Structures are given as C-alpha cells and as structure tokens.
Amino acid sequence: MSPSLKLGLGLLAVLALSAVSLFIGVSDVSLASLLSSADEDRPMQVLLISRVPRTVALILAGSGLAVCGLIMQMLARNRFVEPSTAGTVESASLGLLVVTLLAPGWPLFAKMLVAAVFALAGTALFMRLLAAVPLRSPYMVPLVGIMLGGVIGSLTNFVAYRYDLLQTLGAWTMGDFSGILRGRYELLWLSAGLTIAAWFAADQFTLAGLGEAFTTNLGLNYRRVLSLGLCIVAMATAVIVVTAGAIPFLGLIVPNLVSALMGDNMRRSIPWIALMGAGLVLASDIVGRLIRFPYEIPIGTVFGVAGSLVFLWLLLGRRRHFD
C-alpha cells in the first residue's frame, strides 16, 4: 500500500469516528430526522449548535495536543515529555486562574493569551531545569516535569481554595467536552493553525533537538527555533485548557505509537500524529458518552485509564526501544 493511500485510510477512519460522534447523544439526531426536518427544527439545531462544534473541538484538541507532545519531545530530546509532564498544563491553569481573579471581565481570547504566557514561562522554566542539572536517566526528565507541575498545581490549588474557585479549576485540568457549544470552541481553530505551522517547521525542531552546538553548526539560530517551538506548544496548550480542559498523556503516547509504527521522520509522521491524536480523542469521547448512556463520563477520566495503560506499556513493555 502506498503511504498516501494509508494516510487516506487513516483519514477515513477519523471521518467515520466523527460521523459516529455527530449522531450520539440524548437528543435524537439521525440522518432521517435531519432530512425530514427543516433547518430551524430541533435535530438540525442540536447538530449545529452542539454536535458539530463538539466533534470539531475533539478533532482540533486531539491533533493539537498530539503534535504539541511531538514538538516537546523533539526539543527536550526525551520521549516522555508532553504538556502534562512538563508543567505546561499546570502553568496554563495558573495563568487562567490569575486572570479570572484579576480581570474577570476580559474576553476569553485575552484570558487565553494570559494562560499562554504562563504556560510559556512554566515550560521555559522546565527547560531551564533540564539544562541546569545532569540527567542520569531518561526517566528523570518527565519526573522533574511532573513534580514541577505538582508544585505549580498546588500553588494554583491554594489560590483557588482561597477564592472558592476549586470547581472551576477542576474543569480546566480535567478534560470534558460535554460543555462545548457553538461560540465556545472557536479558539481551538488557533490550535489547528499552530499545528500546521509546526508541520512547516518540523525539520528545524528535529535539528534543534540535537543540541545548540549542532544546530548552530548547521547555521540555524538555536534560540529562535527553541522559542518558536515553545510558543507553539504554550499557545496550543492554553487554548485547549481554556476551552475543554487538558487530556493527560495524549501528547505522550501518540507520537510514541506513531514512532513505533513508522519511525521518526517528522515530516512523514506529523500528519499521522495529528490523525491518530484526533482519532483517539474522538474514540475516547464516544466511549465516555456510551458507557453509561445517557450520562456522560468526561474524556479526562476515560483517557486517564487508556492513556496511562499505554504509557505503562511504553515504559515497561517496550523498554529496549528507549534505551
């Protein structure tokens, strides 16, 4: 099978999942009911206001997080780094909390920018920490990130506790797409743009991952590439945290799975990573919606189980791959 044919099949699978996602829910939306009703009728309205935005949001968030993970893994030269193992998610939540407290009236976009700035600062701090200490094992990198995230997270918790915002905070840290409606997800298109930007800069990230000396030797500005990568990651993470909440380990497992399946040629693998990220998130959300119908289980919980299982398998089962 040719690579493009395979990619086409992958795309088809994601489209199929999207179709399933469109037609699942309490409110009856089926092809027949859609065709037999007018635009202002209930099925069409549900489809346009809730189902389509939700499905699009899932696809955008999934592919965005997966590509973020890939960029971070390239830049930190470690396979276990992603927004939730580098303090990025926690920093974004802190930023969002701070701006919610200090400037509650700001539009969502401005809040998202503040969250992105915090995410950038937190991730940069993580990279500084990594550069500052000798790393004795590849597993230390995500450990440092998770602990940094924990410290930032408890700070956030404390502030939220003081101002009675713990529940709001929970919504940002625990991915849940059930609240996605038209008019409340469009920021995610930004993450799509960033994903495409990452595709174009893919080769540069690969090089930057090889280190400052190596990059400079090839005539590339290391700091600029690094900053570009971190900015993309921070923005995309902030957008996702603001709109739907983070999904743990997605950015970690997707690039690893794709790399196991087809190697590490970034240009070739990025479309696959985006597709697989979208597919996994769609599938998890569908499972969360079906498993206890008509109630919904947030995707954060569903993916927490699936994601950590795959992560464990990556850690223990395929260890030789990483040594």
Q: Which residues bind other proteins (CB under 8 A)?
A: 80, 129, 132-134, 136-140, 142-144, 146-148, 150-151, 153-155, 157-158, 161-162, 248-249, 291-292, 295, 297, 301-302, 304-305, 308-309, 311-312, 315-316, 319
| Sequence-distant contacts of 314-323: CB under 8 A, at least 24 apart | 314/79, 314/252, 314/253, 314/256, 315/80, 315/139, 318/260, 321/260, 322/79, 322/138
Q: Whose Cβ is closer to other proteins: residue 211's or residue 317's?
A: 317
Residue 312 beta carbon to other proteins: minimum distance, rounded to whole angstroms = 6
Residue 322 beta carbon to other proteins: minimum distance, rounded to whole angstroms = 10
Q: Whose Cβ is closer to other proteins: residue 99's or residue 253's?
A: 253
Residue 73 beta carbon to other proteins: minimum distance, rounded to whole angstroms = 15
* Dihedral (CA of 187, 192, 196, 201) sign: positive
Run of H or E residues at 53: helix 52-76
Query: What is d(CA 158, CA 171) in angstroms, rounded to the nearest whole number?
Result: 16
CB burial string 92-107: b at 16+ within 10 A, e below: bbbbbbbbbeeeeeee
137: exposed, middle or buried (Cβ count in 10 Å: 0-12, 13-18, 19+) = exposed
Q: Whose Cβ is closer to other proteins: residue 10's or residue 170's?
A: 170
Residue 316 beta carbon to other proteins: minimum distance, rounded to whole angstroms = 6
Q: Which two tokens stand for residue 71?
A: 């960029």
Is the distance from CB of 267 to CB of 145 less than 8 angstroms? no
Residue 304 beta carbon to other proteins: minimum distance, rounded to whole angstroms = 3
Q: Whose Cβ is closer to other proteins: residue 62's or residue 229's?
A: 62
Q: Whose Cβ is closer to other proteins: residue 213's or residue 319's?
A: 319
Q: Whose Cβ is closer to other proteins: residue 134's or residue 183's?
A: 134
Q: What are the residues whose beta carbons fall under 8 Å from the beta carbon of 158, sequence distance 6 or more?
A: none
Residue 100 beta carbon to other proteins: minimum distance, rounded to whole angstroms = 18
Q: Whose Cβ is closer to other proteins: residue 200's or residue 313's?
A: 313
Residue 175 beta carbon to other proteins: minimum distance, rounded to whole angstroms = 12
Is the distance from CB of 172 to CB of 245 less than 8 angstroms? yes
Q: Is 28 left (phi over 0), alpha (psi -120 to 50) or beta?
A: beta
Q: Whose Cβ is closer to other proteins: residue 5's or residue 136's?
A: 136
Q: Which two tokens stand for residue 220?
A: 């590339």
Q: Which two tokens stand for residue 70?
A: 């890939």
Q: What are the residues whose beta carbons fall under 8 Å from the beta carbon of 233, sequence distance 6 or more?
A: 68, 71, 72, 83, 88, 119, 123
Residue 307 beta carbon to other proteins: minimum distance, rounded to whole angstroms = 8
